[in-house]
Amino acid sequence: MMKISGLYSGGVITNYHCSSRCGHCLYNCGPERSADYIPGFMTAKIFSSLKAQGCRSIHVGGGEPFLNFSGLLDFARIAQECGIAIEYIETNSSWYKDHDETVVKLEKLLDAGINCLLLSVSPFHNEYIPLRKFNGVLAACRTTGMQVFLWISEFYQELATLDADEKHSLQEYAQAFGSDAPGALMRRYSLTMRGRALETFRDQLRPQSYDDLCSTSGPCRNLTDTSHFHIDLYGNYIPGLCTGLAVALEDLGDELTVDKYPVLTTLYEHGIRGLTVWAEGQGWRPQKADYVSKCELCTEIRLYLSNRDFFPVELAPAEFYNEYS
């Protein structure tokens, strides 16, 4: 029986649109994603669901939340009204223009009850955003008293040795820190190998035959793990950090039915092997002899189903799958 209840710790995705297109992005965010931003009614609806599941604090992520600053302020104010604490807002600093403007924005956020930012810094981000912008937001945080933590600080030490006014590709990163440095990011970042991360690091993962993969993979019980959950701007609860899969807010706390959630309930009860059997009944056939992980195979099957517009409720947001077309 698959049921998602007792939400512990998680975040709200205000938008999927992003100024960066990081190679490790779990959510396939980027400039090509819709500029949709979480509307006020959805913010209030999500907070109500969170409270019903015992959760009273969240972090904010994206996409890049600062790309719609008035939307972000509205979000923070609704959180105050609803009694939901915001632990921190994740940002890639790309929106930084100058010190004074950034100070004004941070002061508005402080007034709205936000007192901490997570500043993303990594070679993935530095491919699209010069470190100068990160340094600018950091300086404005110090001016305003906004708390900050760097994710991940050890990368800052490395990137600070490069030209802060320039972006640097992973090839340039390899030239500066050794040819193994990009590959080592997989371990140093503790990446979840789904979404774009899987595409970026595919060549470094060991392929397994289709039959071996199916026979050795167990049920996907991570799907009900609520220790680090995300809910997006459309009201999709993303189970088990399995991006492209979704549970409707109104179904949190209840047993998920096979009729409404055939993919999720099959993965939860019978794993990837069960999904392949079920998907073959829908006309899918494996496209390759080898796969680097069950999640690669799962994505292939879901892509097939999403192209047939089978299950909009649990294969969402549809835009996630555009990455593979």
Question: Which residues bind to ligand SF4, rule: CB under 6 A?
Answer: 18, 20-22, 25, 27, 29-30, 62-64, 92, 120, 125, 194, 220, 222-223, 240, 242, 267, 272, 294-295, 298
Smallest distance, ligand SF4 to C-beta of residue 29, A: 4
| Nearer to ligand SF4 (CB atom), residue 106 or residue 191 | 191
| Residue 69 Cα distances to 12, 39, 73, 205, 210, angstroms | 16, 13, 6, 39, 46
Cβ at position 174, least distance to ligand SF4 in Å: 19
Q: Which is nearer to ligand SF4, 235 or 271 (CB)?
A: 271
21 vs 51 by CB, closer to ligand SF4: 21
Which residue has 């009201």 as its token pair? 235
Q: Helix, strand or coil for residue 118?
A: strand
The answer to whether the beta carbons of residues 151 and 118 sit under 8 Å apart is yes
Closest approach of ligand SF4 to the CB of residue 81, in Å: 27
**Nearest to ligand SF4 of 80, 192 (CB atom):** 192
Nearer to ligand SF4, 51 or 167 (CB): 167
Cis upstream peptide for 83 (omega within 30°): no
Q: Please, what sign has the CA dihedral across residues 298, 301, 307, 309?
A: negative
Q: Least distance in Å: CB of 22 to ligand SF4?
A: 3
Measured between alpha carbons, how far is residue 267 from residues 243, 246, 279, 304 in Å?
14, 13, 11, 16
- Residue 113 vs 279, nearer CB to ligand SF4: 279
Q: Which is nearer to ligand SF4, 56 or 132 (CB)?
A: 132
Closest approach of ligand SF4 to the CB of residue 220, in Å: 3
Quote the least distance from Cβ 296 to ligand SF4, whole Å: 8
Query: How is residue 295 written in tokens?
Result: 């999640």
Residue tagged 């709205």 (tokens) = 112
With CA atoms as reference, report the closest residue to 236 among 296, 319, 324.
319
The two structure tokens encoding residue 226: 């609520």
Cα diameter, the chain: 61
End-to-end distance of the chain based on CA atoms, in angstroms? 34
Within 13 A of 100's CA, how many CA atoms are on the CB side? Answer: 0
Least distance in Å: CB of 146 to ligand SF4? 19
